[in-house]
Chains A and B, each alone.
Chain A
């Protein structure tokens, strides 16, 4: 039992890292630019397809991952300049609809180019082993790598936002965009940079997930909606909140699916326990979000906006 629990704990952590990579961009773009971008999930998908194709071309996953960055960045740049920029001062409804249009476009475009059949990618040779954690317990190296990458990104982001001048501007812009514009910061360039960097995180998450899941149309959408849950729980605009929200959601979702039916079996007959358990565990993260919102309607780490 404890070994299974430990394994699920690591799985939850790994899902949490994917969610963090997607949420970080989402929350930065919303916090700083006041833009709600549904197409963030499409950038995840583009990252995954780019890695799949480039790995196939170069024969190396790492080269493929590296080369996917400029591809994702290019897509993000075009999206920012063409679609997002005119939306800065529009209401959220317009942003939702326009970026929803982007999703429709990217999903169909990808299925025109690659077809409906998913692509599959092997875990790279160098990371395909398993790590001996205790005498009897091993865990795939690749999944551990993902957790490490997630933590690294979190650390780098923390450093940039808390310790650098750019980070200071981002924090200032999140609180009061008018003021930092008045102080002569080129906010347009900063906007574009933040959008592209956020997209790169989503693309990285997509690329890393490619060997674990099938690369297919619409693959980023579930993660996108879960990421919304993460940043709502954490408080929109806050990286710390995104990390905390992502880890919580990752753990609750994974552990719920693994153990809720068993736990319920203590109280209910097996058939009912299975049914209720399946229903409850698939809704668990949303229930969590509801509980958080009842007590803190702006999330756990709300960013205070200047009026």
Chain B
């Protein structure tokens, strides 16, 4: 077990691993796993953004995948209209990354602002149920968008977004692009939770009434962090749409919100690096549990690995609340 003063070294090691990962995978003749690694990095952005809410502010948001979906649909819809040469709300479709990606962030932030403004009127279990319902509402909204494929979603026929100099359609370049964005987002969150605003969030988590009585309105702070988290998830969604070149309502299904929560708790809430490890382990399990079961001759479980994963999750919740982070690090003080 390490102490928290080893964290910087741990960060450096993790960063190094992520940077050299494509070489390792290519050398090990499993370059197909670069796609999984890209998914890991994107997933980690979403998980870190959710940790801002659950871990740092104590807001159990069960609809986080909705913003993921909004970001993805912004990318998908603009690509669709670019392909069809039609307009959406008076604007031409486009694949220009410098327009699409910021727009995806802004629009998911806008959704988070509206949803947060309403949902944050409530507390506790009401908040859980309402964020879940909002997620479901957006899911059905996307399903009802017949023009964009309804239930089936839509392909991005012309490939990924276009950026100057960087060719996102090259999968190694795309991995590094996502990694760079992840690093920037992680650094931003790291600064954020250690800022004065971060301390306000921690105080709200611990005792909201006390915050109110010393003259800080919890509502505004909570709304701001909700919008930031929503924008982060939207960014992740926009990258995911680019990664798979496919967008569907499935992205916003409520089980995806559940998956994100699992990743956060699996890694350790309120630690930022924990959810990244959580995403790593989650994707590792998803990728390799079926293979392991296959090797063991348990083909029945290969397809149904979640039958094992469900109880594992319950055990983690009941007995290992601090997650992977708590397994690796001893908390200071």
Contacts and interface: CB of A to CB of B under 8 A. Distances in A.
A225 B254 contact: yes
Interface string A82-107: 01001100101110111011111111
Contacts of B313: 97-98, 100-101, 104
Given A108-B304, A112-B300, A279-B141, A236 B126 contact: yes
Interface in B117-134: 118, 121-122, 124-126, 128-130, 132-134
Measured as residues with beta carbon below 8 angstroms from the partner, the interface class of chain A is 35 or more
Contact of B145 (A101, A231, A279, A290): A279
Interface stretch (B2-10, B18-26, B82-90, B314-322): B314-322
Interface in A270-299: 275, 278-279, 282-283, 286-287, 289-290, 293-294, 297-298
Given A112-B300, A275-B147, A279-B144, A290 B118 contact: yes
B294 to A, nearest CB: 15
Nearest to B309: A104
Interface in A17-40: 30, 36
A225 B133 contact: yes
B133 A232 contact: yes
B230 to A, nearest CB: 17
A92 B309 CA distance: 21
Contacts, number: 123
B265 A98 contact: no
Given A92-B128, A96-B62, A278-B146, A104 B317 contact: no
Interface string B268-286: 0100000000000000000
Given A93-B54, A112-B307, A100 B258 contact: yes
A283 B143 CA distance: 11
Interface string B60-74: 101000000000000
B211 interface: no
Interface of A: 30, 36, 83, 86-87, 90, 92-94, 96-98, 100-109, 111-112, 221, 225, 228-229, 231-232, 236, 275, 278-279, 282-283, 286-287, 289-290, 293-294, 297-298
